[in-house]
């Protein structure tokens, strides 16, 4: 009898082995999904668009009961991700959402939400008119904002930006208030 296949499981792979694991899973007939996105990689001598996994070291699988242990024998697979003593599960609707976002061409990047921005931190703007700019994060009791300086005009602008478009670049050691 087959296991309930309404949810996906998550396998953790060795570093940079996701694409190889995907090929092995295809060969073994295991239903799987590896979300891939194009990212611009920059080296000192060139730039190149590279297809990379959206989630480093993770591949989604829907194994049958018989296939569950076989998946662990695939070269590059380390373990199943666990939650509350059981295999972690991802709902079909969540996988479908990820697939739609990628198909529609949205720029998506995994965010480290544990890296909290705080007053005085330097952050890079990931999207919008200030994309690519390095900004300093400020905070008051009423609001969180960044200051964008335009050195050529010798002026600065206060801009409210959502946390989702900011990526931590450098922590400020002298901060005293948390931004989020």
**What are 114-147's pLDDT values in tens digits?**
556 677 778 887 777 677 877 777 765 555 566 6
Those residues with Cβ within 8 angstroms of residue 177's Cβ, 6 or more apart along the chain or in another chain: 118, 119, 139
Q: Are residues 15 and 97 in the same domain?
A: yes
Instruction: Show which of 103, 131, 156 is a domain's final residue.
Output: 103
Q: What is the mean pLDDT of the chain?
A: 79
Which domain does 85 fall in, by range?
7-103
pLDDT 10s digits, 34-56: 999 888 888 889 999 999 998 88
In order of 4, 31, 74, 103, the CA distances from 77 in angstroms are: 22, 15, 6, 26
Q: How many domains would you assign to the chain?
A: 2
Residue 108 lies in a domain: no
Which residue in 63, 81, 73, 61 sits closest to 3, CA to CA? Answer: 63
In this predicted structure, which of 9-13, 70-74, 155-159, 160-164 has the lowest mean pLDDT? 155-159
* Mean pLDDT on 70-95: 92
Residue 21 binned pLDDT confidence (cut-offs 50, 70, 90): very high
DSSP state of 127: S
Q: Are residues 84 and 153 in the same domain?
A: no
Which residue in 10, 179, 172 sits closest to 91, CA to CA? Answer: 10
Q: Are residues 28 and 69 in the same domain?
A: yes
Q: Are residues 141 and 81 in the same domain?
A: no
Q: Are 102 and 109 in contact (CB under 8 A)?
A: no
* CATH number of the domain enclosing 77: 3.30.70.940
Q: Are residues 16 and 98 in the same domain?
A: yes
Q: Are residues 139 and 57 in the same domain?
A: no
In this structure, what is the dihedral angle of CA atoms 53, 38, 100, 125, given to the nearest 10 degrees? 100
What stretches of 36-110 show up as alpha helix (H) in DSSP? 65-72, 92-103
In this structure, what is the dihedral angle of CA atoms 13, 8, 81, 163, given to the nearest 10 degrees? 90
Q: b/e string for 84-122 if b means 16 or more Cβ within 10 A? A: eeebbebeeeebeebeeeeeeeeeeeeeeeeeebbbbbb
Other C-beta atoms lying within 10 Å of the C-beta of residue 51: 9
pTM, to two decimals: 0.61
pLDDT at 103 over 50: yes
pLDDT 10s digits, 24-33: 999 999 999 9
Residue 166 binned pLDDT confidence (cut-offs 50, 70, 90): confident
pLDDT at 77 over 60: yes
User: Rounded to an integer, what distance in angstroms lies between the CA atom of residue 12 and that of residue 99?
Assistant: 20
């Amino acid at each position: 009898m087959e296991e309930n296949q309404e949810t996906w499981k998550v396998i953790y792979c060795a570093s940079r082995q996701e694409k190889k694991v995907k090929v092995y899973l295809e060969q073994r007939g295991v239903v799987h999904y590896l979300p891939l996105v194009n990212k611009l990689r920059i080296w000192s001598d060139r730039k190149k668009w590279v297809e990379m996994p959206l989630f480093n070291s993770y591949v989604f699988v829907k194994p049958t009961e018989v296939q569950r242990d076989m998946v662990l024998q695939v070269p590059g697979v380390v373990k199943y991700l666990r939650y509350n003593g059981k295999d972690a599960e991802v709902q079909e609707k969540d996988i479908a959402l990820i697939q739609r976002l990628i198909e529609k061409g949205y720029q998506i990047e995994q965010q480290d939400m544990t890296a909290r921005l705080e007053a005085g931190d330097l952050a890079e703007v990931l999207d919008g008119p200030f994309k690519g700019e390095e900004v300093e994060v400020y905070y008051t009791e009423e609001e969180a904002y960044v200051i964008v300086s335009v050195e050529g005009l010798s002026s600065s602008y206060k801009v409210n930006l959502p946390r989702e478009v900011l990526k931590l670049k450098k922590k400020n050691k002298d901060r005293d208030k948390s931004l989020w």
